[in-house]
Structure 1
Amino acid sequence: MMRVQIPHEDPLVVSLTVAECLVRSVLIDPGSSANIMPRVTFNRLEIKLEELKCTGNPLLGFDGKRVEPIGTVELLVQAAERELVKSFVVVEIHPSYNLLMEREWIHRVQGVPSTLHQVMRCLSPDGSEVIDIHGDQVATKECYSVTLKAAGKGKTLIRSVSTQ
């Protein structure tokens, strides 16, 4: 069975366990300096508003626009045999992905993401084996399709988040 549909220009979109929930459509972005959580994902994970911490720092997008965060929240992320508590910046945006994982998280799981191969290779915590987190090109194409449809309607839909 062929794991990667080629040719493609897909970003790396995976599934991760966050706050004990399986979250699909997680964008791996080695160019980002923050883990981003759209408000709708925050709501679907049923996190209490009291867990949000204030932040005074706006985010700057690649287009130079400022986005004011609603707050930050720390959540357990499980991947590559690691459990890491990571801070997410919660923002009122409507992307086609559920979460965006940033460069520092990639480094902490000792990951090397490859969009070409649709995998993020990680070392096990003891360094004895390689653990692959495979991309989900179907979810990637769904995200892209939702984005294209939303461009004409002014909003996007978020993919599902399910409790394990």
Structure 2
Amino acid sequence: MSDRLEIKPEKLKPTKNPLLGFDRKRVEPIGMVELTVQAAERVLTESFVVVEIHPSYNLLMGRGWVHRVQGVPSTLHQVMRCLGLDGNKVIDIYGDQVAAKECYSVTLKSTRKGKAPIHSASPR
């Protein structure tokens, strides 16, 4: 995994904290790494936990990062809106809608195989 992201093994710091995957399986981290992330005008150094899994994405940004960039995410629109550094300009950071729909489709297929029920809500 770390080679896919071009992270040299010596840059990884050891960590003993396991993660719980979306499928509720325990995942042992390879290590942690600090990376500089640029999103629109914002440039922040963030710590990432590196794991050996095969997701359809390279990384997940947590709530702490969203709060630091003062972001308001919309999963429906695959966009996060935040203020520019001057506090006046609004910046939209777009996600990959095609990839998001593919992930959602895979999730729906796995739930139909009995892994998790889908409940619908209807207005009264």
**What interval of TM-score do these two structures reach, taking the shorter chain for normalisation?**
0.7 to 0.9
Match of 2:25 among 65, 90, 115: 65
- Relative to its length, the structure with more strand (as a share) is 1
State yes or no: 1:122 paired with 2:88: no
Q: Which has the higher contact order (CA 8 A, sep 6+)?
A: 1
Distance 2:62 2:80 in 1: 13
Query: Is residue 80–residue 123 contact of structure 1 (8 Å, CA) maintained in 2?
Result: no
**C-alpha deviations, 1:109-144, integer Å up to 9, x for none?**
110001122210011122111100122212223445
**Counterpart residue number, 2:70:** 110
**Structural mapping, 1:67-106, within 5 Å:** 67-106=27-66
**C-alpha deviations, 1:15-63, integer Å up to 9, x for none?**
xxxxxxxxxxxxxxxxxxxxxxxx2xx3123221100000011112354
Size of the aligned set, in residue pairs, is: 108
* Partner amino acid, structure 2, of 1:96: S
Structure 2 gap ranges (5+):
111-124
Question: Quick one: structure 1 residues 141 and 71, their matched pair in 2 at CA, closer, same or farther if it must change by over 3 Å?
Answer: same
**Counterpart residue number, 1:54:** 14
Compute the TM-score of the two structures, normalised by the length of structure 1: 0.59
* Partner amino acid, structure 1, of 2:42: R
Question: Quick one: structure 1 residues 142 and 64, their matched pair in 2 at CA, closer, same or farther if it must change by over 3 Å?
Answer: closer
Coordinate RMSD, CA, aligned: 2.0
Query: Is residue 75–residue 87 contact of structure 1 (8 Å, CA) maintained in 2?
Result: yes
* Partner amino acid, structure 1, of 2:41: E
Distance 1:64 1:50 in 2: 30
**Structural mapping, 1:115-154, within 5 Å:** 115-144=75-104, 147=106
Structure 1 stretches of 4+ with a deviation exceeding 6 A read none
Distance 2:97 2:67 in 1: 23
Structure 1 gap ranges (5+):
1-38, 152-164
